Structure 1
């Protein structure tokens, strides 16, 4: 069970770029970071409209003087304060991640960035090198990876309960963009604009989540992949609203991933199934408190979060007893809890702690960018197999 008595000597002074009024993701960051009192929101640059951003920050209870017009002012002016921010979360459109992350690291801040991390592997590598040089945390917000039953699945795979991993099937296929809603939805519109979203839409917006879950659960490394993508709403071209990816892993295992926003009638349909020589497991984000476990020759089992029969693992962090539903905000709070522990370890130069602490780090973000580049390369060559 989660220990609510754990604490830091003082909350981490924390700021945000983006995530202003009406932003669901901005609210998710703030609510999750505040859950365990490890972070204290003290400043931000919330909106491209400076007056609106200042008003929003004031409504959140911040000093209006610490609600800045842009991220450059935020970083520069907070650096002059004895009580300036120590960390920043970046909840802005994809095209801005590289520049804001670089400026934050150069300002001596720990960084938590939305995915995809950057547009190119070269940019991601530059940020990773800078974070290492400045000895700062650089985390990527793969929010679904905070669900406890995924860590149960990871532990089961690590302990060999599935045997040799043979097949992984992944999907994240909702139906909310099966019509051209971007005509009246600003949030959808920028996701379908290559200048802002980057070279992909559903692969970068949806597929990267499930791809990271595959890496986290199995540790498999991709050898080759083949990608086919479509724009069923023609105005979205060259960005895809549907894509299929096939994988060959270095171990000889194989896999598939389906990412789509035109799966009409579907709510989310984010699932990952890992098939081994002895057994299989399957997790579905619409039922995140359960893990389906199927051993060959035995009845299927449905494992529930918070129960004593689960494996003991420090990342399997239930916040309430079994039978009560935990969800999206608890998963994000689990990640922010780990980000805080990592930031504290960075500040204390506790490398031993950092070596044993799991969280979605900059390498996870780099792998996601690398995967997107390979998918685009394959699709642009007519679904050709490409080396990863």
Structure 2
């Protein structure tokens, strides 16, 4: 169980790019990173408007002298300080991720980057090469994989509780953009703009979350090929708002991911069902404390977070004991704790002996979007992965 005690001798000096006032995800980054006392927010380039960013940083208790007008200035000035930042989180729109992440790695910083890591596979592979060359930890913000029951699912598959995996059925299909909300919402407008969101909307925005959950739970399975059909239902929207992807894996299993923002009436709609030869498991992001475990021929079982029967690695992610509901803040906090552990091991020259959404996971997500778009743009043909 996590007690919130700092395990590092000194907190990691941490900065942020973006995530300022009005950001959808800035607060959860700060809350999660600071919760276990392993990070200290000492600098930031929080906003495209320097004065607004400075005002925001001051109100987050950051030294005014370390509230910078842009990330380039922050990286240059912090490098001059003996107490400069060691790590940075990138919480900006998609089209900026690559250049900021590259600059951060070149500055010798550990990086926590919002997804998608960038637009194109070649750029993602360049970031992976650079992270290895600089020996820096690069973390990709797949925020749902920090839930306890994802670890439990991974261990159940690893232990053979399900038998050989046959079917992977996943969806992230909400209804929040079933009309042209981008006409009134700036935070949605950039997501449907190809210049700022890249070659896809829902495939990159929500589909890649499920791609990483699949990788986290089923690390022994690799996608061989896929086919994708994508649609734009809202008139005038330049990118897809719905997509269906079918995947074949190297162990003979089949997988499906439904990515959508036009699933009218759905509040969130992120869930999966993994079917093995002996049993199945199912999980829903809106009910993250339960993992359904269904063995053929036996009564259906709902496993509860923090219960004594869970695998030990799942119980270690517990923060408040059984019965109390945990949610997204706990998941993200677990991920930032892993980020701190990974940085600590990296700095000590020790191998990182646990899983987390690393730079290679970021490459996988970008490549998956590339291949889905390629398939959909060629009459939904099968493409090799």
- The answer to whether the 8 Å contact 1:168/1:272 transfers is yes
**Partner residue of 2:3?**
3
- Find the counterpart in structure 2 of residue 241 from structure 1: 241
Q: Deviations over 1:118-144 (max 9, x none)?
A: 111111111111111111101101000
Q: TM-score, normalised by structure 1?
A: 0.98
- Residue 16 of structure 2 corresponds to 16
Aligned match of 2:368: 371
Match of 2:229 in 1: 228
Distance 1:16 1:79 in 2: 15
Contact 2:5 2:36 in 1 (8 A): no
Superposed CA RMSD in Å reads: 0.9
SS at match of 2:152: helix
Query: How far is 1:281 from its partner?
Result: 0.1
Aligned residue for 2:40?
A: 40
TM-score (norm. length: structure 2): 0.98
Structural mapping, 1:34-113, within 5 Å: 34-113=34-113
Partner Cα distance (1:120, 1:330) in 2? 31
**Greater shift after overlay, 2-11 or 212-221?**
2-11
Are the equivalent residues in 2 in contact too, given 1:271–1:283 (CA < 8 A)?
yes
2:381 aligned to 375, 378, 384, which one? 384
- What is the distance in 2 between the residues matched to 1:47 and 1:321? 38
Q: Does 1:261 align with 2:261?
A: yes
Q: How far is the alpha carbon of 1:234 from its aligned partner?
A: 2.2
Name the residue aligned to 1:120.
120
Measured against aligned partners, the alpha-carbon deviations of 1:216-271 in whole angstroms (never above 9, x if no partner) come to 1112211110100011012112x100000011111110011101000111011101
**What is the CA distance between 1:65 and its match in structure 2?**
1.2
Task: Give per-residue Cα distances to partners, 1:25-81, cap 9 Å, x unaligned.
Answer: 011100000110000000000111111100110111111111111100000000001
Q: How many residues align?
A: 384
Give the Å deviation of 1:4. 2.8
Distance 2:139 2:59 in 1: 28
Please give the alpha-carbon distance, in whole angstroms, between the structure 1 residues aligned to 2:36 and 2:74: 25
What's the offset of the Cα at 1:100? Answer: 0.3
- In the alignment, which residue of structure 1 is the partner of 2:299? 299
Matched position secondary structure for 1:227: strand
Encode CA deviations 1:306-353: one digit per residue, 9 max, x unaligned.
Answer: 1101112267511011110000000000000000001011111112xx
Structure 2, gaps ≥5 residues long: none
Where 2:255 maps in the other structure, the secondary structure is: strand
Counterpart-to-counterpart distance in 2, 1:89 and 1:116: 14
Q: Is the 8 A contact 2:13 2:39 kept in 1?
A: yes
Give structure 1 stretches of 5+ with no counterpart. Answer: none
* Mapping for residues 321-340 of structure 1, pairs under 5 Å: 321-340=321-340
